[in-house]
Structure 1
Amino acid sequence: MARLTEPVTVQVRHTEELSEKELHELRKMLVEVFGARYDDNAWDHCLGGIHYLLRYGDKLVAHGALVPRYMRQGDRVLRGMYGESMATLDDWCHRGFGSTIVAMATAEIRLNYDIGVFAASKYSFYERLGWDKWRGQTFVETEHGIEARGPDRGAVMFRLPRHSTVDPDGDLITNLRSGDPW
């Protein structure tokens, strides 16, 4: 692994603070990481929240977003954030950049929200950073009622603040959206 010679910086910005040029650069980077499965739905899901943009010099090499998402457990509506488009360019993996993004997002959730959730397939990466697989059943609220539904791939991962009263063995409900429901 080559030695880093440029500064590494992380910007924390809301979607509305990103310029058209920055949004274009971000989408290009995410398509490079995720390939053809990073469609318009995936792009739309990552907009409207907080972005963590990690750069090596001027190059965007890692990203993660937290977007507000409706979640409830029983009758209790939760103040929740949903992790979207967590990604590091392949050539920049195993340098701690992804861990940095996840740690910053985790701190935001633990300080300001009832729960953080996202769907993931690389469980061990997130578990070592304090995230767990949701143990209860997951549901989606549709116009026809509540339907049992998990993510299209992987598992729902969650992180709770230290003194949370959310039950990770209970049911978790979110709203229906286009693309992957979780």
Structure 2
Amino acid sequence: MPRMTEVRIAHTADLDTATRNAARSLLYDVFDDMTAEDWEHALGGLHALIHEDGELIGHASVVQRQLLHGGRALRCGYVEGVGVRADRRGRGHGQALMEALERVVRDAYDLGALGAADEAATFYAARGWQLWRGHSWALTPEGVHRTADEDGFLYVLPTTAPLDLDADLTCDWRNGDLW
């Protein structure tokens, strides 16, 4: 019989070193192409954590970013580092992690956004995340640059801001993957 697991929400500042290290190790196990910059992108906001038998088996985080859309800077809850240990998948843990973060996004941000790998797109779409159909851009130290490789992989969760999913969307600057 599957056991119920509880999602714990904590800010990066409230995670002890062991929990931060466990989250980082989990994400490196889940994603073959995980980088140090990807891990940095998951820090500084709220983490959703699932433990089972004292071990971290699921992690996701939401960090604040600014996205430009329709002539406005929007406060965005950007979801990062969503991963469940391989031997614990298919048991609703990903849904529980996202449910916790979506509540945060809906209550605190103008919109939610994330970059979805092909294999996760159906999961996010089923939760109400909408594919961004317009062009993606990034505000860089050299100016605004097109990020065409991200088109078709960006999803948003509308909350309070009016959105035109066929228009341009520009993210703020950060090291590593811009989206």
What residue number does 2:161 align with? 164
Partners of 1:27 and 1:153 lie apart in 2 by: 27
The match for 1:79 is: 75
Q: Distance in 1 between matches of 2:26 and 2:60?
A: 12
2:127 is aligned, of 129, 135, 141, to: 129
CA distance in 1: counterparts of 2:116 and 2:2, whole angstroms: 29
Q: Aligned in 2, Cα 1:149/1:54: closer, same or farther, shift over 3 Å?
A: same
Q: State the alpha-carbon separation in 2 of the partners of residues 151 and 11 from structure 1.
A: 34
RMSD of equivalent CA atoms: 1.7
The Cα shift of 1:144 comes to 2.1
| 2: CA distance, partners of 1:109 / 1:47 | 16
Residues paired across the two proteins, number: 177
Contact 2:115–2:153 (Cα < 8 Å) also in 1:
yes
| Letter of the structure 1 residue corresponding to residue 25 of structure 2 | K
8 Å contact from structure 1 (residues 65, 86) kept in 2: yes
| Cα offset, 1:73, TM superposition | 1.0
Structure 1 residue 4 and structure 2 residue 2: aligned? Answer: yes
Tell me if structure 2 keeps the 8 A contact 1:27–1:43: yes
TM-score (norm 2): 0.92
- The 1-side partners of 2:38 and 2:146 are apart by 22
| Residues 46/28 of structure 1: CA separation in 2 closer, same or farther (3 Å cut) | same
| Contact 1:150/1:156 (8 A) holds in 2 | no
Identical residues among aligned pairs (%): 29
Which of these residues, 141, 153, 163, is aligned with residue 139 of structure 2?
141
1:30 lines up with 2:27 in the alignment: yes
**Runs of at least 4 residues of structure 1 off by over 4 A?**
150-154
Contact 1:87–1:98 (8 Å) recurs in 2:
yes
Tell me the amino acid that sits aligned with residue 113 of structure 1: Y
Q: Distance in 1 between matches of 2:5 and 2:58?
A: 11
Partner of 1:68: 64
